[in-house]
């Protein structure tokens, strides 16, 4: 490690390039607000165990993957029992007694952490009279990124630019005369003037002057990215999309890293030039820290060992109750032809609605399937240049759709006019000279609007989502309309994956879902994640159109899928905020309307307590919930997928009698109908991963809302149209879920438990799929989720772990990583 000298031209070594790539690869993506889906923020760290990830993040960034000790002390009072702790300790290879584990909860945490250069300088800075370097660095980089990434931003005219971030930041920073004044550091700008113009040379110079043992270089760079994790996650999203488009190289994350490292190098040199004594002390501490990094990480690993026993005990207590449920035999029901079949999304909010609908008639059948209904769609609304994916973020759309016929054209014309008005209004808002005159001119109008929204709340839809109530949809691929053969292959594949290829009811509901709220930047996070953070309306309407086409049915009949002529497919939408189900494109019978209304009332009654709505009158409850959905000041319109805990893949007939309390993702599956287990493979590599993402998004947002959640919704300011939010007027871009989606003001509404997956399929098939898919094996073997085989006939449940089967509830002889 060298003292600060005037640098000569430097080049990156191969091992340094590798360290850069390793650090950049560790950041998971975060989708924009208008396409917000749940993501495991530690997804790119799945090659190591969750316990190792937890220790690493705690050491590098003071991040938390575990709940605090007082949380587990509370669980001890009403949920976790002695035998849960004893079993958890055995499973994790710990010899601690229950008394030892209780004592552990009273021991305060005193581990040391990694400090970046800016952190070391802050530790010696007069914080009462001077701003912290960490705060200013985050603020400055964050404000620059807004200008760079927002459409039409001042720092980069091309919002889709994939390079130039470092050069633009350097130019802006060199011209910022306020930095020296704000930070009370004369001559600071000269250090930015001396930084190289190219980001690769900056990296090389910084490594030459700052880096200690190259083995730990990736960890240091990772720590820097975690300082600006929100923007790093946004860049990771851009990288994710580029990879879906076939790009193998994506350098914007490296440039963002160079920006953060540029601050480190500038401060290192500035300290050496202006504060000689402090620089000597800094250099000594910095060198010692590099040699101690392995010990720092290990100290966190050791400190968390017994806390992981508590976490495992909490999961065992839930699994124990669930296993008791699953072993209950279903009551005998004489087989009768179905009067109604309703296919729902696997979303946990569908589970109470499915129970409620099934309770209306013994011959009503419900199914669980991925909410995008197997359609890899990209929607381009008529009258708009928008192209919006309607499928999981894991996948790339391959089919384009748009409205057709006269209703679609009329809606498109109305939509275009509305969007043009919004665009002109936004231009006025963005014009600085017009700000005060605009307020003067429109103040009274907005006062009326505020009063109206406060006392007469109503529904609000963006013009892009204002779809025609009837009409056809145009499907194309690469600019050409889908052929009958392509439609047949698509529809037959979907019905096969749903397990719906025979015994059709006269009426089949295809039920997508969406939420309803006002003044909510995170509204997309309450919609269907499988539809890319949109409602499932488009997907179910397109699928209903396909399955009702006579020529398509005739074509599918040649493949053995015979749909009776009297069977109708009807698209519907489940409003998860109000629990109303609305049907599209068809007149429904009074009987069906009555069933749907009664089911909605039953679910609303079930949800009332969680929403703090206590009334014995159903009409008052319905009115209160609907008013809540239209209230622009309501910060908790619904609880979304909070408290999700398991994913059950099995025939609905085997779970119909069970109440999973809205905590279970339910996917219908009958392994005897699955030739070569292709459907099981699809479920384990797509829906299982998506449910894991959802589960971990909620877990992370609870365990560390500061780093992996978006804080207080009341303080949010939307950034760059839809890039994300700030909490207040600055700081890092906030990712994850707001506190109000997780906490009711008194307690957490989500309990962080790793997802428990139950597969009603042969052990050999499950094991074969796991061994052939590295990502799935990593999730299981590195303790990111649990996979169980549910043998329905034998009433046995076994856990699959590291290529072996173990009876659930029996200790595993080989200790798992914590």
- Two structure tokens written together for 582: 């609305």
Number of residues that this document lists for the chain: 818
- The whole-angstrom separation of Cα 582 and Cα 340 is 16
Reported in sequence order, the residue ranges of 492-631 that DSSP labels E, i.e. its strands, are 507-514, 568-575, 580-583
Angle made by CA atoms 259, 260, 264, in degrees to the nearest 5: 115
DSSP classification of residue 702: H
Per the CB < 8 A criterion, the answer to whether 501 and 434 are in contact is: no
Burial class (CB in 10 A: 0-12, 13-18, 19+), 448: exposed
End-to-end CA distance of the chain: 36
**pLDDT average per 10 residues of sequence, the chain (818 residues):** 54 94 98 96 98 98 98 97 98 98 95 96 85 96 95 66 87 94 94 97 96 92 98 97 87 97 98 92 94 97 98 98 95 88 98 98 97 96 84 94 70 51 51 50 57 55 55 92 97 96 97 96 95 96 97 96 97 97 88 97 95 83 92 94 99 97 98 96 98 99 98 95 93 97 97 99 98 98 99 95 86 39
Indicate the pairing of strand 646-649 with strand 580-583.
unpaired
Write a three-state SS string for 101-116.
Answer: HHHHCCCCCCCCCCCC
Phi-psi domain of 627 (left: phi exceeds 0; alpha: psi -120 through 50; beta: other): alpha
Tokens 């009664």 -> residue: 598
- The whole-angstrom separation of Cα 229 and Cα 732 is 7
pTM of the predicted model, to two decimals? Answer: 0.92
CB atoms within 10 A of CB 192: 22
Indicate the pairing of strand 756-759 with strand 786-791.
parallel
Q: Is 406 annotated as a binding residue?
A: no
149-153 CB contacts, 8 Å cutoff, 24+ apart: 149/234, 149/720, 149/723, 150/719, 150/720, 150/721, 150/723, 151/720, 151/721, 153/720
Write a three-state SS string for 259-317.
Answer: HHHHHHHHHHHHHHHHCHHHHHHHHHHHHHHHHHHHHHHHHHHHHHHHHHHHHHHHHHH
DSSP classification of residue 64: -
Q: Is 528 annotated as a binding residue?
A: yes
Partners of 27 in beta bridges? none
Among 401, 511, 462, smallest CA distance to 33 is for 462
What is the residue extent of each domain of the chain? 14-58+115-303, 341-419+448-637
- The whole-angstrom separation of Cα 260 and Cα 250 is 18
Can you state the percent helix, strand and coil of the chain, rounding each to 5? 50, 10, 40
DSSP classification of residue 716: E
- The whole-angstrom separation of Cα 548 and Cα 567 is 8
Among 524, 260, 523, smallest CA distance to 389 is for 524
Per the CB < 8 A criterion, the answer to whether 552 and 485 are in contact is: no
Per the CB < 8 A criterion, the answer to whether 144 and 155 are in contact is: yes
pLDDT at site 212: 82
660-664 CB contacts, 8 Å cutoff, 24+ apart: 660/325, 660/351, 661/352, 662/348, 662/349, 662/351, 662/352, 662/606, 662/607, 663/348, 663/351, 664/348, 664/351
Angle made by CA atoms 353, 356, 358, in degrees to the nearest 5: 110
Secondary structure tally for the chain: helices H, strands E: 28, 18
Per the CB < 8 A criterion, the answer to whether 375 and 389 are in contact is: no
Q: Which H helix or E strand runs over 756?
A: strand 756-759
> Maximum Cα–Cα distance for the chain, whole Å?
88
Q: Is 24 annotated as a binding residue?
A: no
- Two structure tokens written together for 246: 């076939």
pLDDT at site 817: 41
pLDDT at site 431: 47
- The whole-angstrom separation of Cα 622 and Cα 630 is 13
pLDDT at site 386: 81
Partners of 344 in beta bridges? 368, 511
In sequence order, the 6+-apart residues with CB closer than 8 A to the CB of 784 are 40, 46, 50, 692, 696, 754, 778
Per the CB < 8 A criterion, the answer to whether 515 and 536 are in contact is: no
Q: Is 347 annotated as a binding residue?
A: yes
Q: What is the DSSP string of 408-426?
A: HHHHHHHHHHHHHHHHHHH
pLDDT at site 590: 94
Reported in sequence order, the residue ranges of 590-695 that DSSP labels E, i.e. its strands, are 646-649, 664-667
DSSP classification of residue 749: S
pLDDT at site 249: 75
Backbone angles phi, psi at 92, to 5 degrees: -100, 5
pLDDT at site 716: 96
Tokens 């709220």 -> residue: 517
């Amino acid at each position: 490690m060298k003292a600060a000298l005037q640098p000569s031209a430097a080049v990156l070594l191969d091992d340094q390039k590798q360290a850069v790539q390793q650090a950049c690869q560790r950041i998971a993506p975060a989708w924009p607000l208008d396409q917000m889906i749940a993501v495991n923020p530690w997804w790119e760290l799945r090659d190591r165990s969750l316990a190792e990830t937890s220790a690493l993040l705690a050491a590098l960034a003071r991040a938390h993957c575990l709940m605090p000790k007082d949380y587990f002390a509370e669980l001890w009072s009403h949920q976790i029992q002695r035998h849960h702790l004893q079993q958890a300790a055995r499973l994790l290879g710990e010899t601690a007694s229950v008394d030892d584990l209780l004592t552990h909860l009273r021991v305060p945490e005193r581990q040391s952490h990694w400090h970046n250069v800016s952190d070391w300088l802050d530790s010696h800075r007069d914080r009462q009279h001077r701003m912290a370097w960490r705060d200013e660095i985050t603020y400055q980089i964050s404000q620059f990124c807004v200008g760079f990434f927002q459409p039409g931003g001042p720092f980069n005219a091309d919002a889709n630019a994939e390079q130039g971030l470092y050069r633009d930041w350097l130019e802006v920073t060199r011209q910022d005369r306020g930095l020296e004044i704000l930070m009370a550091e004369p001559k600071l700008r000269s250090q930015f003037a001396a930084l190289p113009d190219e980001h690769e040379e900056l990296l090389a110079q910084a490594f030459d002057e700052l880096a200690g043992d190259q083995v730990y270089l990736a960890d240091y760079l990772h720590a820097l990215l975690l300082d600006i994790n929100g923007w790093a996650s946004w860049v990771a999203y851009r990288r994710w999309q580029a990879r879906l488009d076939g790009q193998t190289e994506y350098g914007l994350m490296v440039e963002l890293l160079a920006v953060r490292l540029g601050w480190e190098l500038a401060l290192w040199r500035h300290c050496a030039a202006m504060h000689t004594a402090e620089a000597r002390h800094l250099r000594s501490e910095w060198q010692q820290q590099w040699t101690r990094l392995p010990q720092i990480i290990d100290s966190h690993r050791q400190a968390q060992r017994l806390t992981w026993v508590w976490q495992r005990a909490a999961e065992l207590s839930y699994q124990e109750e669930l296993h008791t449920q699953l072993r209950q035999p279903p009551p005998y029901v004489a087989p009768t032809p179905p009067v109604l079949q309703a296919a729902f999304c696997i979303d946990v909010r569908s589970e109470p609605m499915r129970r409620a609908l099934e309770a209306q008639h013994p011959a009503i059948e419900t199914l669980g399937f991925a909410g995008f209904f197997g359609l890899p769609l990209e929607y381009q609304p008529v009258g708009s240049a928008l192209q919006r994916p309607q499928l999981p973020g894991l996948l790339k759309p391959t089919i384009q759709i748009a409205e057709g016929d006269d209703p679609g054209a009329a809606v498109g014309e109305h939509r275009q006019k509305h969007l043009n008005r919004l665009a002109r209004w936004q231009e006025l808002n963005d014009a600085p000279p017009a700000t005060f005159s605009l307020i003067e001119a429109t103040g009274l109008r907005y006062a009326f609007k505020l009063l109206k929204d406060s006392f007469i709340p109503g529904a609000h839809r963006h013009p892009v989502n204002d779809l025609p109530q009837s009409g056809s949809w145009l499907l194309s691929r690469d600019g050409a309309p889908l052929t009958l053969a392509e439609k047949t292959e698509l529809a037959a594949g979907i019905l096969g994956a749903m397990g719906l290829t025979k015994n059709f009811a006269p009426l089949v509901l295809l039920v997508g879902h969406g939420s309803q709220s006002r003044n909510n930047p995170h509204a997309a996070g309450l919609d269907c994640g499988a539809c890319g953070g949109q409602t499932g309306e488009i997907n179910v309407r397109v699928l209903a159109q396909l399955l009702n086409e006579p020529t398509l049915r005739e074509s599918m009949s040649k493949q053995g899928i015979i749909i009776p002529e009297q069977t109708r497919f009807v698209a519907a939408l489940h409003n998860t905020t109000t629990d109303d189900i609305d049907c599209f494109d068809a007149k429904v019978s009074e009987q069906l309307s009555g069933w749907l209304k009664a089911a909605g009332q039953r679910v609303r009654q079930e949800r009332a307590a969680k929403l703090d709505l206590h009334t014995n009158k159903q009409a008052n409850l319905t009115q209160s919930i609907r008013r809540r959905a239209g209230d622009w000041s309501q910060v908790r319109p619904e609880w979304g997928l909070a408290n999700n805990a398991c994913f059950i893949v099995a025939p609905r007939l085997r779970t119909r009698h069970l109440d999973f309390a809205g905590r279970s993702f339910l996917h219908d599956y009958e392994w005897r109908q699955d030739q070569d287990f292709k459907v099981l493979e699809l479920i384990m590599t797509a829906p299982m991963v998506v449910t894991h993402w959802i589960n971990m998004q909620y877990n992370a947002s609870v365990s560390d809302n500061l780093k992996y959640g978006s804080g207080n919704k009341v303080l949010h300011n939307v950034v760059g149209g839809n890039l994300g939010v700030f909490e207040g007027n600055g700081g890092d871009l906030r990712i994850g879920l707001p506190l109000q989606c997780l906490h009711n003001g008194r307690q957490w509404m989500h309990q962080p438990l790793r997802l428990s997956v139950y597969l009603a399929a042969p052990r050999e098939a499950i094991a074969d799929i796991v061994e052939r898919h590295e990502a799935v094996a990593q999730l299981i073997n590195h303790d990111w989720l649990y996979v169980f085989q549910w043998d329905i006939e034998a009433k046995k449940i076994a856990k699959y772990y590291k290529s072996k089967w173990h009876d659930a509830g029996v200790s595993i002889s080989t200790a798992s990583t914590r």
